[in-house]
Amino acid sequence: MWKNFGSQVVLENVNLHIGDHEFVTIVGASGCGKTTFLKILLGIETPSKGEFLIDGDPLAGEPGPDRGIVFQRYSLFPHLTVMQNLLLGLEFQGSPLLGRLFGARRRRALERARDLLEAIGLQDAAGKYPAQLSGGMQQRLSIAQSVICEPKILLLDEPFGALDPGITADMHALILKLWNMNKMTIFMVTHDLQESFELGTRVLVFDKVRIDPQAPEAFGATVTYNIPLKGHRSAVGE
């Protein structure tokens, strides 16, 4: 798979096979195409050459419910309460016309949302708006908001990058718990090398292998290390 913007090559010769229920962490220097890689997975950028397959089918050209995303910021809806934010995915998928659920279906959805809210420790904040939550609570909610739709793949773009270092341990425990509950594949871009080895079952390192000092944009980055962490999954499992 290749990706270039005009003459600038961002990614070159990326060739990967990722299994089900892997936790892939992506590290690399700034400007090494980590985020571009994530955007291609998300469907908001398309590869210039080559393709991505999920279970043998090409990736849809736009974001969809099979791939959840958590950005560093702005992925919550400020006009909805915590509970409404969490319900939104179920309402989109259950009610094409109004985007709202009523009666018994709403009660079932509420029940699921309440369980998940408890799992992320936000049960007491159900009626609050995102602006009233701390950064860590916002990210926990944003992750849960994606997980409730049971995506095959969850994409995390430096989700803990803007958070107080003191709470990242809690966040790691939470993401591993949700990952094991939902059996999804996670791709997580991070700056933090330690985090990447702690969480991942596979670490991808993006870097430029060829550099032309006359034309720094002529060569792109690729996956220079693809490190499966054997036995790791059982260690973080049940």
Partner 1 sequence: MRRLINLSPNRAGALTLSVLPFVLVVAAYLFYSSARNAANPGDKLLPLPATIAATIHQYAFEEDERSGEVLLWKDTASSLERLLAALAVSAVVGLSLGLAIGVLPYLRATLAPFVAALSLIPPLAILPILFIVVGLGEAAKVTLIIIGVTPVIVRDLAFRTAELPGEQLIKAQTLGASSWQLILRVVLPQLWPRLIDAMRMSLGSAWLFLIAAEAIASTEGLGYRIFLVRRYLAMDVILPYVAWITLLAFTMDWLLRLLRAKAFGWAGPGA
- Interface with partner 1 by CB under 8 A: which residues? 42, 44, 62-65, 67-69, 71, 73-75, 77-80, 88-89, 91-93, 96-100, 129, 131, 142, 145-146, 149, 151
Nearer to partner 1, 28 or 68 (CB): 68
Quote the DSSP letter at residue 49: B
Rounded to whole angstroms, the Cα distance separating 107 from 102 reads 8
Task: Report the alpha-carbon angle 159-163-164, nearest 5.
Answer: 150
- Token representation of residue 117: 């809210």
Nearer to partner 1, 47 or 63 (CB): 63
| Residue 141 beta carbon to partner 1: minimum distance, rounded to whole angstroms | 12
| Residue 226 beta carbon to partner 1: minimum distance, rounded to whole angstroms | 26
Helix (H) or strand (E) holding 27: strand 23-28
Distances 9 to 93, 132, 207 between C-alpha atoms, Å: 38, 42, 13
Nearer to partner 1, 55 or 62 (CB): 62
Nearer to partner 1, 152 or 191 (CB): 152
| Residue 233 beta carbon to partner 1: minimum distance, rounded to whole angstroms | 25
Classified as helix, coil or strand, 89 is helix
Nearer to partner 1, 68 or 220 (CB): 68
CA-nearest of 157, 207, 160 to 44 is 157
| Residue 75 beta carbon to partner 1: minimum distance, rounded to whole angstroms | 5
Distances 188 to 94, 130, 177 between C-alpha atoms, Å: 28, 23, 15
Classified as helix, coil or strand, 228 is strand
| Residue 227 beta carbon to partner 1: minimum distance, rounded to whole angstroms | 28
